[in-house]
Structure 1
Amino acid sequence: MLLKQRLKLTYWLKIIIPTIIALLIPMALFLPGLMGLFTSARTNPVFANGLLLYPLSYYLELPATFITNVPGSSFWLTGGYSVLCSMGAIYTLRRFKTYPVLNSILVIGAMMLLSPVFAAIMNGASSPSNRWTFMFTLPMALTVPILLNNLKKMTNRDFYWIIGFFGVAFLSLFYAFNFNFGSKYASMLFIAFAMLVLVYVTRTRPKGLYLIVLLAMFNALTVMQQNRTIDLDPNQSNLLPTKKLKN
Structure 2
Amino acid sequence: MSTGLLACVALLGALAGLAAPRVARHFTAPLAPRVAGAASNAVRDAGSTPRVVEAAPGVVRVAGTVPSAGWGATAGAVAFAGLAAALGADPVLPVLLVLAAVGLVLALVDLACLRLPDPLVGAAALVAAGGLTGAAATAGSPGRLLGAVAGAALCFACHVVLAVLPGSRLGFGDVKLAAVLGLPLGWLGGSSLALGLILPHLLHGVLVLVLLVSGRVRRDTPLPLGPALLTGAWLAALAA
- Do they superpose with TM above 0.5? no
Whose helix proportion is higher, 1 or 2?
1
- Give the TM-score normalised by the residue count of structure 1: 0.27
